[in-house]
Amino acid sequence: MNLQGTMQIGADGHLWIGGCDAVWLAEQFGTPLFVYDEQLLRERIRAFHAAFRAAGVERYQVAYASKAFCTVAMCQLVTEEGCTLDVVSGGELYTALSAGVHPSRIHMHGNNKSREELEYAIDARIGTIVADNFYELELLEEIAGRRDLTVEILLRIAPGVAAHTHEYISTGQQDSKFGFDLESGQARAALEAVQRLPHVRLVGLHAHIGSQIFDSGGFVLAVERLAGLYEQGMALGLPLRVLNAGGGFGIRYTAEDDAAPITSHIRAITDAVRRSFAARSLELPEIWVEPGRSIAGPAGVTLYTVGSQKEIPGVRRYVAVDGGMTDNPRLALYGARYEAVLANRVGERADTVCSVAGKCCETGDMVIWDAPLPEPRPGDILAVFATGAYNYSMASHYNRIPHPAVVFVRDGRATLVVERETWADVARFDRPLSYKAAYACPQGRYPSPSPGSPPEGDAGAWTPASSAVSGPSAPARR
Ligand SMILES: Cc1ncc(COP(=O)(O)O)c(C=O)c1O
């Protein structure tokens, strides 16, 4: 059973989290419900700080990768625990700033940041922008130049190391949409390009090699490769001071996941930085990491209510819950595996093999295949462990299913940090079908009618409505 942090089985046979009965939480806040063990969240972060201290590294940052789970309360909590924040969109930046995170403690990723997002980030004076490609470098120069500012950036490098769980591959991961490729010389060209940008100051290098990584070898190799590039940057006179090894530290979803303790990953990274920088007679840089899953993942539990069942004799027993791929798309996306219990009957023998299905109109909408549970009954509360990362943040409105509520629990108290959406919330941006206030497409902008457009003189429904508003100018056809 994947009990972590304050999770325990009470004398009543119920699952308790943060001193709260999970069954009571389900009654109080409804299901599906995301429950976060606040103490465990804090402990996970403190483990990173302790690991850096144990490695004797003073200049470091633990930048929480907010994509794993980004809400105002979470941004506040990680900030209280001394994390900086990695955001990857205008929406995540907005959330972080709304939470009161100091802009200087935020850095922004993204392989296709829009002009609007870059302007927002620069105007907010965030700490650094992690530039991903040459187009972005040009945009940054233009935006910063117009404001007569200098923006500090890291370069995202694709170091040719791919890592996932127990394996890493040291070549072949060139083929990624992210970052400047090291192997082909793009990364070196990026260093030279930055030199020519008066409003962009390159302060460091970054690599993120994968997710759910158990073996530190990939981090070590990536650090060594970044160190080589760092040396080239220093030789060019660039003011480098940061080496960011990214996130990806694995967690225990099921008993088969033997996730290494954070200390050993951090020790491997810091040792590799020390070694490879000393070998090049370079001053030790600030070491940054960007954990998301390893902070938020283990602390989250999803509570569902059991509903219908379907037994196919000799084949399988399906047990359906009131959520599914809309609050946890990870099984559908990656075949992710989870463990679960019936929170109201944890003490009972788990002697029925059930496949937990969601409620969406999609065959692949499964939560767990072949979970051992006590014979489930409608109304039971199913608790799925380790759902704190990339679940709520990846939630969708498929089938117009509202997003669940989120609570943090601590010392016997529960606080609602994200309200449950309603059906009305899901439809709130819809507008009735009417052309009374329609946008009229300006006519005559294109040299010839496109195939399928109505023949001349047969304007029909294409006639601009009399009360129509002129739309934004359409881009010229290429
Ligand atoms: C650039 C970057 N940093 C950090 C992370 C966080 O990874 P994880 O949640 O696996 O620690 C990701 C995840 O995709 C990422 O792309």
Mean pLDDT score, 325-332: 95
Mean pLDDT score, 83-98: 98
For residues 48 and 67, the answer to whether their CB atoms sit within 8 Å is no
- pLDDT above 50 (res 55): yes
Pocket of ligand 1 contains residue 324 by CB under 6 Å: no
Q: What is residue 173's three-state secondary structure? A: coil
- pLDDT above 70 (res 349): yes
pTM above 0.85, yes or no: yes
- Model confidence at 458, pLDDT cuts 50, 70, 90, reads very low
- Residue 210 CA: which ligand 1 atom is closest? 10
Which are the contacts of 39, defined by CB distance < 8 A and separation ≥ 6? 5, 6, 18, 410
Percent of the chain predicted with pLDDT > 70: 91
Q: Which residues are paired to 80 by β-bridges?
A: none
- The span from the CA of 36 to the CA of 410, in Å, is 9
Q: Cα 156 vs. chain centroid, distance in angstroms?
A: 17
Nearest CA owner, ligand 1 atom 4 = 247
- pLDDT above 80 (res 167): no
- The span from the CA of 155 to the CA of 137, in Å, is 10
Q: What is residue 28's three-state secondary structure? A: helix
Reported as a single tens digit per residue, the pLDDT across 215-238 is 999 999 999 999 999 999 999 999
Nearest CA owner, ligand 1 atom 10 = 248
- pLDDT above 50 (res 457): no
Length of the chain: 478
- pLDDT above 70 (res 448): no
CATH fold group of domain 8-30+299-426: Lyase, Ornithine Decarboxylase; Chain A, domain 1 (2.40.37)
- The span from the CA of 245 to the CA of 226, in Å, is 9
Closest C-alpha among 156, 292, 164 to residue 226:
156
Structure confidence at residue 1 (pLDDT): 82
Structure confidence at residue 472 (pLDDT): 41
Q: What average pLDDT does the structure give for the chain? A: 92
Pocket of ligand 1 contains residue 109 by CB under 6 Å: yes
- The span from the CA of 469 to the CA of 478, in Å, is 26
Lowest mean pLDDT among 151-155, 311-315, 415-419: 311-315
- Model confidence at 475, pLDDT cuts 50, 70, 90, reads very low
DSSP 8-state assignment for residue 368: E
Number of C-beta neighbours around residue 207 at 10 A: 28
Nearest CA owner, ligand 1 atom 12 = 247
Structure confidence at residue 176 (pLDDT): 81
For residues 78 and 99, the answer to whether their CB atoms sit within 8 Å is no
Can you list the positions of beta strands (E) in 88-143? 106-108, 128-131
Lowest mean pLDDT among 9-13, 32-36, 278-282, 451-455: 451-455
- The span from the CA of 46 to the CA of 435, in Å, is 57
For residues 162 and 172, the answer to whether their CB atoms sit within 8 Å is yes
Q: Which of 45, 66, 67 to mutate to test the pocket of ligand 1 (most atoms within 8 A of CB)?
A: 67
Structure confidence at residue 444 (pLDDT): 77
- The span from the CA of 297 to the CA of 384, in Å, is 12
Can you list the positions of beta strands (E) in 247-365? 286-289, 300-312, 316-321, 340-342, 352-357
Q: What is residue 79's three-state secondary structure? A: helix
- The span from the CA of 313 to the CA of 47, in Å, is 48
- Per-domain residue ranges of the chain: 8-30+299-426, 38-296, 435-478
Mean pLDDT score, 205-213: 94
Structure confidence at residue 454 (pLDDT): 52
Which of 70, 83, 354, 361 is catalytic? The answer is 361
Output the six-digit token pair for 240. Answer: 């480098």
- Cα(299) to ligand 1 centroid in Å equals 17
- Cα(444) to ligand 1 centroid in Å equals 48
Q: Which residues are paired to 162 by β-bridges?
A: 169
- pLDDT above 90 (res 323): yes
Structure confidence at residue 445 (pLDDT): 74
Q: What is residue 81's three-state secondary structure? A: coil
Output the six-digit token pair for 226. Answer: 């970044």
For residues 242 and 191, the answer to whether their CB atoms sit within 8 Å is no
- pLDDT above 70 (res 465): no
- Model confidence at 469, pLDDT cuts 50, 70, 90, reads very low
- pLDDT above 80 (res 351): yes
For residues 266 and 48, the answer to whether their CB atoms sit within 8 Å is yes
Pocket of ligand 1 contains residue 249 by CB under 6 Å: yes
- The span from the CA of 376 to the CA of 357, in Å, is 13
- pLDDT above 80 (res 456): no
- pLDDT above 80 (res 82): yes
- Cα(14) to ligand 1 centroid in Å equals 34
- The span from the CA of 91 to the CA of 98, in Å, is 10
- Cα(289) to ligand 1 centroid in Å equals 9
Can you list the positions of beta strands (E) in 295-404? 300-312, 316-321, 340-342, 352-357, 366-373, 381-385
For residues 228 and 274, the answer to whether their CB atoms sit within 8 Å is no
Pocket of ligand 1 contains residue 209 by CB under 6 Å: no
- pLDDT above 60 (res 10): yes
- Model confidence at 441, pLDDT cuts 50, 70, 90, reads confident
Structure confidence at residue 163 (pLDDT): 81
Pocket of ligand 1 contains residue 248 by CB under 6 Å: yes
- Cα(212) to ligand 1 centroid in Å equals 9
Reported as a single tens digit per residue, the pLDDT across 293-310 is 999 999 999 999 999 999
Structure confidence at residue 461 (pLDDT): 42
Helix (H) and strand (E) counts for the chain? 12, 26
Q: Is 75 a catalytic residue?
A: no
Q: What is the CATH number of domain 38-296?
A: 3.20.20.10
- pLDDT above 80 (res 354): yes
Closest C-alpha among 96, 86, 80, 136 to residue 113:
136
DSSP 8-state assignment for residue 347: T
Pocket of ligand 1 contains residue 291 by CB under 6 Å: yes
- The span from the CA of 253 to the CA of 371, in Å, is 13
Q: What is residue 32's three-state secondary structure? A: coil
> How open is the CA angle 376-381-382, to the nearest 5 degrees?
75
Q: What is residue 400's three-state secondary structure? A: helix
Structure confidence at residue 474 (pLDDT): 40
Structure confidence at residue 450 (pLDDT): 57
- pLDDT above 80 (res 169): no
Percent of the chain predicted with pLDDT > 90: 86
Closest C-alpha among 262, 171, 264 to residue 225:
171
Mean pLDDT score, 257-268: 95
- pLDDT above 60 (res 471): no
- The span from the CA of 326 to the CA of 319, in Å, is 17
